[in-house]
């Protein structure tokens, strides 16, 4: 059975993992930063606190900084493709927790789902632009 795991210990661990990822990225240890973020994201899935979609863009940025453009792009595309499935899973947690709103159990609106998809598409385009600039600089360096 799904249970509320959004207790203070989980929140504290998530906060520590996010701080750790930032410190690792500052040291240019992107592989460790990515691992820290992925662990934090796993905990976030069943935590009572919801994070905005932009919180999940960090790992794509770290993939990109690590020179792993394709993985960054794949991460964002999977995030986009799974918006509805992730929202449905979150709604199941709300139901298990007994969270209610007017008209029944708490739901994630179609508007929020659409907004998240749009924001992810914008982040994908930004990633592509960054990569194009990197490629242009590489070409100029060869000349």
Strands 100-101 and 104-105: antiparallel
What's residue 2's pLDDT? 38
CB 98 within 8 A of CB 83: no
Alpha carbon distances (Å) from 109 to 29, 49, 106: 38, 17, 9
Rounded to the nearest 10°, the torsion over CA 61, 65, 71, 72 is 20
Burial class (CB in 10 A: 0-12, 13-18, 19+), 27: exposed
Q: How confident is the model at residue 143 (pLDDT cuts 50, 70, 90)?
A: confident
Q: Which CATH class is domain 8-142?
A: mainly alpha
Q: What residue spans define the domains of the chain?
A: 8-142
pLDDT in tens, 35-83: 999 999 999 988 877 789 999 999 999 999 999 999 999 999 999 999 9
């Amino acid at each position: 059975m799904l249970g509320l795991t959004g207790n203070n210990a989980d929140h504290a661990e998530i906060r520590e993992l996010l701080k750790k990822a930032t410190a690792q990225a500052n040291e240019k240890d992107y592989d460790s930063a990515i691992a820290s973020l992925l662990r934090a994201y796993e905990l976030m899935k069943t935590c009572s606190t919801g994070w905005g979609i932009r919180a999940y863009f960090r790992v794509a940025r770290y993939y990109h900084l690590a020179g792993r453009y394709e993985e960054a792009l794949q991460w964002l595309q999977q995030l986009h493709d799974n918006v509805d499935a992730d929202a449905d899973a979150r709604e199941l947690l709300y139901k298990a927790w007994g969270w209610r709103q007017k008209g029944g159990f708490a739901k994630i609106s179609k508007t929020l789902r659409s907004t998240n998809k749009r924001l992810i598409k914008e982040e994908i385009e930004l990633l592509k632009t960054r990569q194009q600039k990197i490629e242009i600089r590489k070409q100029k360096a060869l000349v």
